[in-house]
Amino acid sequence: MSGSSTPRGCGNPSVGSFSKFDPKLAPGHDRARQRTHESTWVKLVEAVPKDEEDWRLARQSHAFSNPEEMVKTLEDLLDGRKKSQLYKIVYLASRYAILNGDPSRTEAIYSDLRECLDNPNLEDNMLDIYMASVVKFIKALDDLFLKGLLHRAFELVLYIPINISHLRLYGPHKERFSTCFSIQKPPAEIQGSLLLSIPFLVHYLVPELR
């Protein structure tokens, strides 16, 4: 794959020892992490639209109520200069797809990801974890689609917390993730014409991957 597959906003830049006490092994660490995880689930439930009025208000709040708003919102979210959370997720998914097709590009891809995520110190294994988390999140949304939420499953990326830390929790716990949503088949609506499926957005962002 040529270098043209790198969307604007993420280029191709050139490329301590620990003390004996590891705070991660402290007795309270696991409890603190568990509280953080529970807080994430609570925030997810709070953010999820519960009924038709909630969906209407969520769309109104996020400029996704009519075709003109929808197109502009999507363009803004996928603008590499702004680096929205959705952009970062789609970018991670695109780099995962490229690596699957051409593992020889690993070094360049990792460099791209560090730039996109604004962290030059991210280790390779952590980038692998991030990409795997995105893949699992995609599968969790696909499950919601198949259970009957249809296009609204993908639209959720506009309304729920989607930082990488959230995705790392959602994906491995798909069953709990799915229980946070009221699965009701939506009516015919204009939002169904613009699927926010992450693989679709990857192709939108990086046409060379089609």
72 in a structural domain: yes
**CA–CA separation, 21 and 90 (whole Å):** 38
pLDDT value for 15: 34
Q: Does residue 167 contact residue 140 with C-beta atoms inside 8 Å?
A: no
Amino acid identity for residue 128 in this structure: D
64 in a structural domain: yes
The angle formed by the CA atoms of residues 156, 161 and 165, to the nearest 5 degrees, is: 130
Name the least confident of 1-5, 128-132, 142-146: 1-5
Residue 59, token pair as written in the block = 């769309």
| Proportion of the chain above pLDDT 90, given as a percent | 75
Enter the pTM of the model. Answer: 0.82
105 in a structural domain: yes
**Domain interval for residue 60:** 41-205
Burial 46-85 (b: 16+ CB within 10 A, else e): eeebeeeeebeebbeeeebbeeeebeebbeebbebeeeee
Number of structural domains the chain divides into: 1
9 in a structural domain: no
108 in a structural domain: yes
1 in a structural domain: no
Contacts with 64 (C-beta within 8 Å, 6 or more apart), sequence order: 58, 70, 73, 155, 158, 191
Q: Is residue 67 scored above 80 in pLDDT? A: yes
pLDDT value for 209: 79
77 in a structural domain: yes
pLDDT value for 194: 83
82 in a structural domain: yes
